[in-house]
Amino acid sequence: MRNIHNLALIATARGCGFGSLAIITAMAGCAFDSALALKVGGFGFTLMAAILLLKAEIARWQPYNRTEVWILLPKDQRPDQAYAQRVITEANREAFLRFGRYTAATAIGLWVMQIIVSLGAAS
């Protein structure tokens, strides 16, 4: 059970890492204008947070055997179908919500910094 939760966290962290890399690369492309770079980052992380919240809701109906957690589980550690459906979908849901909170906090921080930089540039 603990292994399933850890695999759900690893799978979600990997996806979020790749998404974050894309957002940070876009921000670096806007480095000539710090307010724009922060706005791009704020928008990107807000979008990522929304997607994670949506995935958390959808996770309840996703078949367990079509998840990355199921693929990562060694064959000798795979539980029976009824248990796997309940535990894997709940582990995925918790991981999506956890990373959704982290991503939302990052987005809020970027939006606040963008407002501060914009106000500083206006004065």
62 φ, ψ to 5°? -80, 130
In the structure, what pLDDT confidence band is assigned to residue 2 with cuts at 50, 70 and 90? confident
If you average pLDDT over residues 91-104, what whole number do you get? 98
In the structure, what pLDDT confidence band is assigned to residue 120 with cuts at 50, 70 and 90? confident
The pLDDT, as a whole number, for residue 97 is 98
CA-based angle 15:19:20, to the nearest 5? 115
Name which of 43, 60, 62 is nearest 103 in CA terms: 43
pLDDT tens string 72-85: 999 998 999 989 99
The pLDDT, as a whole number, for residue 123 is 63
- Spell out a b/e string for 92-117, using b for 16 or more CB atoms within 10 Å of the CB, else e: bbbbbbbbbebbbebbeebbebbeeb
Which residue is it, tokens 């806007």? 30
C-alpha 72/C-alpha 66 separation (Å) is 11
pTM of the model: 0.91
